[in-house]
Structure 1
Amino acid sequence: MSHSALLIAKDATIGLRLNMNGNRNSVKAFLKYAEYAQLPSINADDKWISPFITMLQNFFRDNNDAIRLETVDPQHLGDKTDYDNGIYVLEDYEIVDRINSPADTSPEHRIHDRLLSIDSTQPLVNQLGDFLFGMDTPITSIKIGDQVFLPRLFPSYEYPGRYRIHTVLGFADNDPFNPLTSNKRFKGRPYVDMFNNQDNAVNPQSYITTDTVRVLSYPIYVISFAPANDLHGAGGFDWLPATTMNDGTEALDTFYRHVKDSRDEGGSHIVRLLRITDPNITADMQPKDVTDYIDADIDRWESKEHALKQFVPPNADADRVPTGGADEHITHPYR
């Protein structure tokens, strides 16, 4: 099957034809990346098209056949049937309708790896970088010392990326010498080390005014292998960082190695692959401390957390089947 699709804003007359990566998972990743990169919101005024094309051209490495503009009649979108994946009608950064789409049987996937792929092809000055590994956190949970991602005030080749990492310094509490503490917009809000040459507490640009903010975190992969029944011995786990595409490849190799071991031993273990972000796991922790933290709460990883992949042998006792579910259940013979 080919991979063409049309992306068009709701009620617009100009759309983008993709001749590659027109499947649902790819389109959702493109939209999420545009949102994270703060590209113009997608609507009928078409201001979103040029920056969106630039992002796609970088991803397709300037393949001139990958994208083209098309004019359409928004009242007769159903008449256009020459797209393998149909027409995606967009509003803001969401798919609000899909027209003439095929029966899409491809499974929904977490899009993190796709976002990493898109980001790696963008100019360094505009990449999202570690932002993609951050954890969205309510402002009410932020504390002094947290490191957070905030949009850059201006581009810099010395400090590339669309976001900067800042440290939370304090909150706008009652202070008669600081008018911001009585301002409804800033009262109780955290402020960060936005500037080095002034008091950030009195500068509105230093405050976080959104309801959530992305906090710097240290994502990891956990590969757990728990006994499938009482006939087999103890289980265990492996873990490794989840900060590069190579880490993902290594995690998959480790997962399938344990699946093979389980099959070779007659279905001895339930094997799960998880990608987790936990505020208690930080980049400055010693590996032994990370291992101890996971081990202390191993039941969560073995059963309750949602997994990327999992293998449950047919002979597993019912009470040992994970309750958290998984994106993909491995049932095919190991290969």
Structure 2
Amino acid sequence: MGNCAVITTREREIGVYLHWNGGCDTVEPLLKYCELQGYRSPSSDGYGWARMCQVMGNYFGGSLSLGIGDYTTDKRMNPGDNGIYVIEGWKIVDRIYAYGDPYEQQVYDFDDMLREFDNAMPERLRLGEFLDSVEVPADEVRLGDEVWLFGVGGTWEAYPVVGFGQPKTNRIAVWIDAPDGRREVTYPDRPYAARYDHDGDFSWNSNNYVHGDTARIKPRV
């Protein structure tokens, strides 16, 4: 008896076994939580597997319901119930079932599960208020928004946006689709925050800038 699932990657080298909470309504929030924590993914190296198991083990508690081992074949690894999740990065890219397409479990709310995982973590590792953040396109960030930036110590901190531009060195490239079908690199103005200053200037340090296509900000009042 259980609600089983196995999580693996395209390479089929390692498999994580969940005896309970194998539904998509737990696995998708689990992967998202690991992504929000800034963990390297299992697709890149073994640390991703370790961090995923850390999060799930904290949530389960005890010493059962979670396993990890060498992946053999899809047939041998298939646990029934929810089958096998194949991930790339922190996204599900394939599902493999033993008994056809089962009913997709949708019992747990996505955001509630993110908070359940967070509450089970040691206090100093929790995301806390960051889970209330809103993801917006980087070019829609406004002056005065409080933007979340990831730190060297592996934590998220919010800082007010104080300007737009590019650092003098280590400029931030953005690739765009050109009319001829090629990809071109551009250096558009990017939002930067009051994080590391130099005589009151925050534009100089590339670590003050939003680098991706999207940014996470505190909800606007």
Aligned residue for 1:189?
190
**Structure 1: gaps (5+ residues):** 156-161, 218-278, 283-335
Q: Deviations over 1:213-264 (max 9, x none)?
A: 01101xxxxxxxxxxxxxxxxxxxxxxxxxxxxxxxxxxxxxxxxxxxxxxx
- Distance in 1 (alpha carbons) for counterparts of 2:161 and 2:203: 11
* Pairwise CA distance, 1:18: 1.1
Q: How does 1:126-141 map to 2 (within 5 A)?
A: 126-141=125-140
Q: Residue 183 and residue 84 in structure 1: after superposition, are their counterparts in 2 closer, same or farther (change >3 A)?
A: closer
**Does the 8 Å CA contact 2:26/2:108 hold for their aligned counterparts?**
no
Bigger relative contact order, structure 1 or 2 (CA pairs below 8 A, ≥6 apart): 2
Aligned residue for 2:168?
179
- Distance in 2 (alpha carbons) for counterparts of 1:123 and 1:197: 35
Aligned residue for 1:98?
95
The two structures have a TM-score, normalised by structure 2, of 0.82
RMSD in angstroms over aligned alpha carbons?
Answer: 2.4
Which protein has the larger Cα radius of gyration, Structure 1 or Structure 2?
1
* Pairwise CA distance, 1:44: 6.8
* Pairwise CA distance, 1:113: 0.8
**Higher relative helix content:** 1
Are 1:166 and 2:167 an aligned pair? no
- Amino acid in the other structure paired with 2:161: V
- Distance in 1 (alpha carbons) for counterparts of 2:44 and 2:144: 42
* Pairwise CA distance, 1:92: 1.0
Q: Deviations over 1:15-71 (max 9, x none)?
A: 11111211121111111111111111231743311111111122122x211211122
Aligned residue for 1:53?
53
Aligned residue for 1:208?
210
**Structure 2: gaps (5+ residues):** 174-186
Aligned residue for 2:69?
70
- Distance in 2 (alpha carbons) for counterparts of 1:153 and 1:80: 38
- Amino acid in the other structure paired with 2:163: G
- Amino acid in the other structure paired with 2:212: T
State the number of aligned residues. 205
- Distance in 2 (alpha carbons) for counterparts of 1:138 and 1:44: 26
- Distance in 2 (alpha carbons) for counterparts of 1:2 and 1:16: 15
Give me the identity figure in percent.
26
Aligned residue for 2:86?
89
**Does the 8 Å CA contact 1:14/1:46 hold for their aligned counterparts?**
no
Q: Deviations over 1:52-104 (max 9, x none)?
A: 1111122122x21121112222xx31244444321111111122222225512
